[in-house]
Amino acid sequence: MTSSPIAALLLLAAAPCLAAPDLPGADDVADVPAVDVRLDDDANRRYALIGHDPERKPPKDGYRLLLILPGGSGSIDFHAFCKRIAKHALDDDWLAVQVVAPVWSSEQSETHVWPTREHEWKGMEFATEDLVFAIVEDVERRARIDPRYVFTLTWSSSGPAGYAMSLAKDSPITGTFVAMSVFKPDQLPSLSRAKKHPYFLLHSPDDFIPIRMAREAEEALGRKKGIVELVEYEGGHGWQGDVYGHMKRGIAFLEKNAAKPPKRKPRK
């Protein structure tokens, strides 16, 4: 499969600035617990559960869950940044998950990091939606989760997967945060499923990804009665300015407008 020039630039131009935007090293998050998990011992079904202390009593209704799909390469190299998100953007009612992007080929890992059901990669064994939804169920076996607050945070290369997960018929996702990414509705499921689903979009007019894409997402999802807020920031592509302030604002918006959790059947 071929990939667009923008998709390639998401990795080549953006990845270096996304991993740790002018932040200190890993020592600053040494106090944040994390467990490295591989579903069925499969390296392509890998995630890190961040912030979970089995000895701590969970919130009355269960933990809220933020699923982070890093941009750029989507690799485990983003782990310290994901722990900083948990430390600085979330309170004690939350757990975070860093999903690690599967690698189906060297070309795929460079041009189409997070393939989906509607935008596949030849030879992939599962789509991003299937991986993430299985991870949600695995986390639910490890900790009590409040199904009303299961959100995704995606940026750059993972943004299209963020939209796709929100629109999947079997999705457990109740809120979607997409930053600095493309919007291609022809590669997505029916936008009609956006009804009553909250979307927080973050994009810079100076980004090499045209701001019109974020504005088109705001308009298209809003037409389908999605609940959409678009915030524009200065500085171009990457996490700029008040990084965790932006994240807190987006998560608060999703909490306020969280979609009704669907009834789900256990996955095999």
Q: Is residue 229 part of a domain?
A: yes
Across 37-64, average pLDDT? 95
Mean pLDDT within 184-190: 97
Residue 18 confidence (pLDDT) above 80: no
pLDDT tens across 102-153, in order? 999 999 999 999 999 999 999 999 999 999 999 999 999 999 999 999 999 9
pLDDT computed for residue 14 by the predictor? 38
Q: What's the rounded Cα separation, in Å, for the pair 46 and 49?
A: 10
Candidates 8, 10, 28; CA nearest to 18 is 10
The phi and psi torsions of 35 (rounded to 5 degrees) equal -120, 130
pLDDT at site 266: 53
For residue 5, pLDDT beyond 60: no
**Cβ proximity of 83 and 32 under 8 Å:** yes
173 inside domain: yes
pLDDT tens digits, one per residue of 161-183? 999 999 999 999 999 999 999 99
CATH of the domain at 197: 3.40.50.1820
Q: Are strands 63-69 and 94-99 parallel, antiparallel or unpaired?
A: parallel
pLDDT band at 24 (very low <50, low <70, confident <90, very high): very low
pLDDT at 23 over 50: no
Residue 65 within a domain: yes
Residue range(s) defining the domain that contains residue 117: 5-257
Position 67 pLDDT exceeds 70: yes
Specify which residues 202 forms β-bridges with.
179, 231
What φ, ψ does residue 220 adopt, rounded to 5°? -65, -45
Q: What's residue 259's pLDDT?
A: 87
Tell me if 262 is assigned to some domain: no
Residues 6+ apart with CB under 8 A from 56: none
Examine the pLDDT at 84 and tell me if it is beyond 70.
yes
The pLDDT assigned to 194 comes to: 98
- What was the pLDDT predicted at 261? 86
pLDDT of residue 80: 94
To the nearest whole percent, how much of the chain has pLDDT over 70?
89
Q: How many distinct structural domains can be found in the chain?
A: 1
Q: What is the mean pLDDT of residues 59-69?
A: 97
Q: Does the pLDDT at position 3 exceed 90?
A: no
Is the pLDDT at 71 greater than 70, yes or no? yes
Residue 241 lies in a domain: yes
Place of tokens 């299937």: 130
Segments in 90-192 forming alpha helices (H): 106-111, 128-142, 159-167
Kindly provide the residue ranges of all beta strands, DSSP E only, lying in 70-134, ordered along the sequence.
94-99
For residue 2, what pLDDT band results from cuts at 50, 70 and 90?
very low
Average pLDDT over the chain reads 90
Best CA proximity match to 240, nearest among 179, 199, 181, 198: 179
Output the pLDDT for position 260.
85
Q: Which residue has the higher pLDDT, 29 or 10?
A: 29
Q: What is the pLDDT of residue 108?
A: 96
Closest C-alpha among 190, 187, 220 to residue 117 = 187
pLDDT at 248 over 50: yes
Q: What is the mean pLDDT of residues 205-217?
A: 98
* Domain assignment present for 268: no
Pairwise CA distance, residues 235 & 232, whole Å: 10
Asked, for residue 30, whether it belongs to a domain, the answer is yes
Residue 188 clears pLDDT 90, i.e. is over it: yes
Q: Is residue 197 part of a domain?
A: yes
Among 104, 107, 68, 109, smallest CA distance to 89 is for 68
Query: In the chain, where do the E strands start and end?
Result: 34-38, 46-50, 63-69, 94-99, 145-155, 175-179, 198-203, 227-232
